[in-house]
């Protein structure tokens, strides 16, 4: 179907406007909106026509997208844009007859803005590029040892004293409440739900820079000392900004009631700004926290989230605590072959009436290098080429019912990424692999590596038009147009 300046689009205004803008960015052609149902591209919503977020797409003499809801229509538009091609005769849409809906309800990406800070504009670009792959959740890692990134009225020194720097002494920053609400609203316009994370009780050195009375003295374990020496990074010092990226040395004071006043204030202020159902409270790598103390904190912190009207989320280590709040959702970041007690910890969330998000580090972590010589990223979970990111099965990792798996999340930790362009090099094309793992049934006809590598290669012109700084991995036959 040819696309020219006379092509008209009819349908709900947000979807029409997004389609027109995207086509213009890709082709330079400005389509026109029409109030008449005779437009060459027709966008419709038919509630209940398929599963939630689903759509049908037919491209022949006309292009017709029918979404089961507004999200489904949005995702149908993204597929239509992927079928836009240029040849010697001009621009056209490839013929198609698609009926599509997601396998998992939770399809997420995580952006760590604590190790390196990314401003509102960068986060919006990240939302644009990842929602186009049909991701529907954005997990923002808002606090860590290196910095605190969102303003809290009740504890103003967090952003006043603990937000100015990033790893290596790079510039920091934070979101005002207006900034945070702007991100949440922008994500919602792309059918993406924001999940804020405040990492507790470990990864809390920055809290101690602002409020020393809340945090224990750093625990300098042997691995931290060795890694800091190898990387030429400083060790953490109580009350001073931490510029390294070692882990496991910090903890809030678990037996101080003021600590829970702090957690309650932070959670309630975040809950007030966050329309989504979840608040993530971390729980990972609390290496210096005795198990009994960790258990006590996990019980109280998850209860505070429930008290605020939200569903608690936590990294899988929090499953080691017996009395986490019922319904708490765990995020598994162990490997595809579980090590140690990781599988048992993850399963405990299910036993307590919760569910799991799969973020197996050796296949989903977007901050791992593609290969040993790649200039960005780390290798502690291994190297992850695009095929490895694609060829894994979320329900095959843990011994829990398939129904306990809510979906997949691909995290991007920012120790080595100082700019959004560097983030994009690590994220793309591997995020496309995770998007398909989360969206498409494993038995779907085209759900295989050889098909995927060709289809993702065809996205190169679209990504270039959108200004995405993707990595042109050798595994992929990249299309020129």
Q: Where are the domains of the chain?
A: 8-100, 106-451
Closest of 113, 110, 82, 85 to residue 98, by C-alpha: 82
Q: How confident is the model at residue 29 (pLDDT cuts 50, 70, 90)?
A: very high
What's the token pair of residue 345?
Answer: 């910890």
461, burial (CB in 10 Å: exposed 0-12, middle 13-18, buried 19+): middle
Report residue 295 CA to chain centroid gap: 27
- pLDDT at position 36 over 90: no
pTM, rounded to two decimals: 0.97
Report the pLDDT value the prediction gives residue 201, as an integer from 0 to 100. Answer: 98
Report the pLDDT value the prediction gives residue 265, as an integer from 0 to 100. Answer: 98
Residue 133 has phi, psi (to 5 degrees) of -95, 10
Q: How far is CA 41 from CA 8, 63, 75, 82, in A?
A: 6, 5, 15, 15
What's the token pair of residue 164?
Answer: 């100015």
Name residues whose C-beta falls within 8 Å of residue 451's C-beta, 6 or more positions apart in sequence: none
Cβ atoms within 10 Å of 283's Cβ, excluding its own? 32
Cis peptide before 115 (omega within 30 of 0): no
306, burial (CB in 10 Å: exposed 0-12, middle 13-18, buried 19+): middle
What is the torsion angle, in degrees rounded to the nearest 10, for the CA atoms of residue 441, residue 446, residue 451 and residue 455?
-80
Report the pLDDT value the prediction gives residue 445, as an integer from 0 to 100. Answer: 86
235, burial (CB in 10 Å: exposed 0-12, middle 13-18, buried 19+): middle
The 10s digit of each residue's pLDDT in 280-320 is 999 999 998 999 999 999 999 999 999 999 999 999 999 99
CA distance 123 to 109: 12
Q: Can you state the angle between helices 291-307 and 257-273, rounded to 10 degrees?
A: 40
CA distance 188 to 88: 38
Concerning whether 446 is annotated as a catalytic residue, the answer is no
Third-level CATH fold of 8-100: Chitobiase; domain 2 (3.30.379)
- pLDDT at position 37 over 90: no
Name residues whose C-beta falls within 8 Å of residue 419's C-beta, 6 or more positions apart in sequence: none
The 10s digit of each residue's pLDDT in 324-377 is 999 999 999 999 999 999 999 999 999 999 999 999 999 999 999 999 999 999
* Domain 8-100 shares a fold with domain 106-451: no
Residues 22, 15: contact at Cβ < 8 Å? no
Burial code (b: 16+ CB inside 10 Å, e: under 16) for 381-398 equals: bebbbbebbbebebeebb
Report the pLDDT value the prediction gives residue 481, as an integer from 0 to 100. Answer: 82
Q: What is the CA radius of gyration of the chain?
A: 23
Q: Could you say which of 256, 285, 326, 475 is catalytic?
A: 285
CA end-to-end distance (rounded Å), the chain: 17
183-378-455 Cα angle (round to 5): 65
Q: How far is CA 238 from CA 204, 205, 250, 359, 418, in A?
A: 11, 8, 9, 32, 25
CA distance 136 to 140: 13
- pLDDT at position 439 over 90: yes
Third-level CATH fold of 106-451: TIM Barrel (3.20.20)
Mean confidence (pLDDT) of the chain: 97
């Amino acid at each position: 179907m040819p696309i020219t300046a006379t092509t008209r689009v009819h349908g709900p205004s947000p979807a029409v406007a997004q389609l027109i803008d995207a086509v213009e960015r890709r082709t330079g052609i400005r389509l026109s909106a029409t109030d008449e149902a005779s437009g060459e591209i027709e966008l419709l919503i038919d509630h209940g026509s398929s599963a939630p977020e689903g759509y049908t797409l037919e491209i022949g003499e006309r292009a017709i997208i029918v979404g089961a809801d507004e999200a489904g229509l949005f995702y149908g538009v993204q597929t239509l844009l992927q079928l836009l091609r240029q040849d010697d005769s001009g621009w056209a849409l490839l013929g198609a007859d698609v009926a599509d809906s997601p396998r998992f309800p939770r399809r997420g990406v995580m952006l760590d803005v604590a190790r390196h800070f990314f401003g509102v504009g960068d986060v919006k670009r990240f939302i644009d590029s990842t929602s186009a792959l049909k991701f529907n959740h954005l997990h923002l890692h808002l606090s860590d040892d290196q910095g605190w990134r969102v303003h809290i009225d009740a504890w103003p020194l967090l952003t006043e004293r603990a937000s100015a720097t990033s790893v290596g002494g790079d510039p920091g920053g934070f979101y005002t409440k207006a900034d945070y609400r702007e991100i949440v609203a922008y994500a919602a316009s792309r059918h993406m739900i924001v999940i804020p994370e405040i990492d507790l009780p470990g990864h809390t050195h920055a809290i101690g820079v602002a409020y020393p009375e809340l945090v224990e003295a750093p625990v300098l374990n042997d691995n931290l000392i060795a890694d800091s020496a190898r990387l030429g990074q400083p060790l953490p010092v109580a009350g001073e900004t931490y510029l390294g990226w070692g882990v496991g040395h910090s903890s809030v004071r678990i037996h101080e009631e003021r600590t829970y006043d702090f957690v309650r204030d932070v959670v309630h202020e975040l809950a007030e700004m966050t329309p989504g159902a979840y608040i993530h409270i971390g729980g990972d790598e609390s290496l210096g926290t005795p198990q009994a103390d960790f258990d006590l904190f996990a019980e109280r912190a998850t209860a505070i989230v429930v008290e605020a009207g939200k569903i608690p989320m936590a990294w899988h280590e929090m499953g080691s605590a017996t009395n986490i709040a019922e319904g708490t959702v765990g995020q598994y970041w162990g490997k595809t072959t579980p090590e140690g007690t990781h599988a048992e910890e993850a399963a405990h969330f299910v036993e307590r009436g919760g569910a799991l998000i799969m973020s197996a580090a050796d296949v989903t972590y977007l901050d791992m290098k593609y290969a040993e010589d790649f200039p960005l990223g780390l290798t502690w979970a291994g190297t992850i080429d695009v095929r490895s990111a694609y060829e894994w099965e979320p329900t095959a990792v843990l011994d829990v019912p398939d129904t306990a798996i809510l979906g997949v999340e691909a995290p991007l930790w920012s120790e080595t990424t100082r700019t959004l362009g560097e983030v994009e090099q690590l994220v793309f094309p591997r995020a496309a692999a995770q998007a398909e793992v989360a969206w498409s049934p494993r038995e779907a006809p085209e759900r295989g590596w050889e098909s995927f590598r060709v289809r993702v290669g065809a996205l190169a012109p679209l990504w270039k038009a959108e200004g995405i700084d993707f990595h042109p991995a050798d595994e992929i036959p990249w299309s020129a147009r």
